[in-house]
């Protein structure tokens, strides 16, 4: 179950939203001003391996 990052276009606040289903219908609302005019931000993803937690962007990074 993913956690997405959003930014409110009305007040500019950034926030995260836990989404139970990627293909389900859900409404995103800003926790500060309650506007529904929000956009999904491009974000990195985290992985966990043998007790270590890392953030990775290597799959999207240029190789040179």
Q: The tokens of 44 are what?
A: 């990195």
> Which class is 1-43 in CATH?
mainly beta
The structural domains of the chain, with segments of one domain joined by +, span 1-43
**Cα–Cα distance measured from residue 42 to residue 12, given in angstroms and rounded to the nearest whole number:** 15
What are the C-alpha distances in Å from 59 to residues 47, 50, 56? 13, 20, 8
Burial of 8 (0-12, 13-18, 19+ CB in 10 A): buried
- Residue-wise pLDDT for 11-59, tens only, equals 999 999 887 766 667 789 999 999 999 999 987 666 667 655 555 545 5
Rounded to two decimals, the pTM is 0.59
């Amino acid at each position: 179950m993913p956690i997405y990052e959003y930014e409110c276009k009305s007040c500019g606040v950034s926030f995260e939203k836990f989404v139970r289903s990627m293909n389900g219908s859900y409404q995103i609302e800003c926790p500060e001003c309650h506007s529904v005019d929000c956009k999904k931000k491009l974000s990195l993803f985290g992985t966990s391996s043998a007790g270590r937690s890392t953030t990775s962007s290597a799959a999207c990074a240029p190789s040179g």
